Structure 1
């Protein structure tokens, strides 16, 4: 079983206006929320640990998790509002973002909310801004310090400067968490933003030397790369007719974790010895899943059967993960 830790919120899309009235559409989101949904849709048992508001929006977030089979045993309901991310477009059609998260339930988790984990939980995933803002950031760091070595720890920085604008704050927490993580996935954009042009291989080996078992850098339409202590692998991007890329990184994350579970690599440190052939298969599966998400509107996480059908409909090379 997986335990996914982090924020659950609503993304609010402003579609247009008529006078003083705005037309809005809201959907559940947050990177860890999406990863939990993605794991459930790939038929993996998963629990979600995060702060969710005791309000109408919080209740809808809980219902969305339960509808996809995500466990809510570790949820903490708090008397605080639900975080909102607003997305609109300027006069030129370029996206504009605003975030309302100060004092919201997702940030309110403290170390006093930490629970004893069931023995069935074999892997913990944390990520995005909930690992940086306080007090929840320190709470999650405390959790993985406690569980390090007994369960696989997965981490995706998923930098969001509209939530925490300080690069220095992000860098400090990332440098702490990579020392506690077995599997690290980071986007090329975040590498550039935080580490200012460092070579991918240099950063990967730095993190491996710090204790990671597997480092993956995603490159959008250019594919992904993976390093562990014995191998390297790379896949190209998957050409698709893109509707949007929302949720693609979270899909990649959930697909990669699902693959590690399916191949018996969830033990802490197990990913360090995966050979290059199987690293390539892992990347292929995750990249294809992410490509499928890009053909859909919003963070519509694919089901396992959808991913298999999608891959089997493509070229023989794209189906290499089956063999």
Structure 2
């Protein structure tokens, strides 16, 4: 393995227990950060995931899923059970979640420094483990670019004003931020998603991405905005769509040389064609994922095929 792995992802693993009317439960490996690490590995990157896994069936299932894709899994010695979420899908494949999660990540020694760090979701805002996440990001960001996806789960966010402050602290530490319009609607009720994203852009990131499900996505950057429509696809379920969008984004940014300490300056001033290409890769990655069950992102050949189709 190289001395500097491409990506370090810090965050939770979750066993997604998918529940459909009249059908037996299906257990899928999940958790937003874990899905991003898995997606990056599927796309050919060296990806390390710093996380927590219980010594239980769900933990063994998730570990095998990640390592089978090539993800290096680092975890602490916590004895908590592996987090789980019951995922209920409606008739249009939209997901709602009920969580059983403890996040108490302690410090874990890293023997290599990454080129890029990604975090988000429950791990970045849930005590006590969030303190470990933020300390790691703050220590690594001098030599690595950082991305963040709040992946808001209202039931786990706690008091609203405090949650917004925690999210905004993560935004300020990041170079690239992705959020859905639903995330922004919960964080800033009554405000247009693009207005909230502009606020984030002013806080320091070079690029803020807003996804809108079937209506496409928008990239906000200091020089303006770039929009892309959603790719036509028959949706099986939406589990992991945003995470596949994120891994597709990072894959394309890496291909354009816009990540890592050497790429940070160029990331601050990308041209519109480059940003459009990044959005195309992100949207195609998400489209492949929603067309099949579970958080199952594309590999390189599947992503190339999706791009060729669209």
TM-score (norm 2): 0.90
Contact 2:94 2:237 in 1 (8 A): no
Q: 2:85 maps to what in 1?
A: 85
1:278 aligns with 2:283: no
Question: In the alignment, which of 197, 204, 208 is matched to residue 204 of structure 1?
Answer: 197
Query: How far apart, in 1, do the equivalents of 2:89 and 2:182 lie?
Result: 22
Change (3 A) 1:308 1:96: closer
Query: How far apart, in 2, do the equivalents of 1:69 and 1:200 lie?
Result: 36
Contact 1:231 1:275 in 2 (8 A): no
Structure 1, unpaired ranges of 5+: 315-323
Deviation at 1:76, TM superposition (A): 2.1
1:155 aligns with 2:148: yes
Query: How far apart, in 1, do the equivalents of 2:195 and 2:17 lie?
Result: 38
Change (3 A) 1:204 1:82: same
Question: In the alignment, which of 10, 13, 34 is matched to residue 18 of structure 2?
Answer: 13
Instruction: Show the 5 A alignment for 1:1-323.
Output: 1-15=6-20, 23-72=24-73, 74-88=74-88, 97-101=97-101, 104=102, 107-110=103-106, 113-119=107-113, 121-268=114-261, 269=264, 270-314=266-310
Deviation at 1:117, TM superposition (A): 5.0
**Secondary structure of the corresponding residue to residue 52 of structure 1:** coil
Change (3 A) 1:16 1:275: closer
Structure 2, unpaired ranges of 5+: 1-5
> Which structure would you say has the larger Rg?
1
**Secondary structure of the corresponding residue to residue 201 of structure 2:** helix
Deviation at 1:97, TM superposition (A): 3.8
Deviation at 1:307, TM superposition (A): 1.1
Query: How far apart, in 1, do the equivalents of 2:18 and 2:287 lie?
Result: 23
TM-score (norm 1): 0.86
- Count of aligned pairs between the two proteins: 301
Contact 2:28 2:295 in 1 (8 A): no
Residues 58-80 of structure 1: CA distance to partner in whole angstroms, max 9, x if unpaired?
222211111000012x3224211
